[in-house]
Structure 1
Amino acid sequence: MASKTDVQAEEVQNTTGITPDSLGDTLKKAPELNASHVDIQDISGGCGASFAALIVSDAFQGKSALQRHRLVNGILKKEIAAVHAWTPKCLTSEQWEKEKAKMR
């Protein structure tokens, strides 16, 4: 039997159509972003209403954090309006390589 949060997550996803995969696909297909890596996590405890993202793109080069978020948020405007929380982390390829090196 599915837990209450599993049922709620399915209802949100069925109602909005928004899943980590759908968000990731939209970002990966955006030509203005040309993302080399996208990882979307459901951080809502299973209800499907809050997402965190790691997005790697050289389109972020020379942009402030605010400009990077605006670029991503513009691509996901409809989706973000339908979810409770959206937390993107936007890195260039160089920054991503440094982050990965720290994790080793």
Structure 2
Amino acid sequence: MPVQTEYLDVAIRERLQAQHVEVVDVSGGCGQAFEVIIVSPAFAGKGLLMRHRLVNAALKEEIAQIHAFTQKDFTPEEWIKKQQQ
């Protein structure tokens, strides 16, 4: 069964205490490739690699079921600055 965008959204919010999540199925609807934006205070003080490892660990089972998973991770402060640009 393909992974659903709504399921990923809920899982990310619950497991990473995310304040903002955007999940886009870029596979044409087959649920095999996703691009996500995650805004979470859990990323504070962590570099890019540590953020990716945190997300990958939280979504280990889901990521194993899909072909491609691209993530952009921000702290709430970074996200606010990005929106102001």
TM-score if structure 2 supplies the norm length?
0.93
Task: Tell me how large the CA RMSD over aligned residues is.
Answer: 1.0
Amino acid at match of 2:12: L
Runs of 4+ in 1 over 2 A off after TM superposition: none
Q: Supply the distance in 1 between the matched residues of 2:62 and 2:17 (Cα, whole angstroms).
A: 19
**Secondary structure of the structure 2 residue equivalent to 1:23:** helix
Q: Which has the higher contact order (CA 8 A, sep 6+)?
A: 2
Aligned to 2:8: 23
Higher strand share: 2
- Identical aligned residues as a percent: 46
Alignment map for 1:1-104 (pairs within 5 Å): 15-16=1-2, 18-30=3-15, 33-102=16-85
Deviations 1:66-86 (A, max 9, x none): 100111111110000000000
Structure 1 length-normalised TM: 0.77
Q: Larger % of helix: which? A: 1
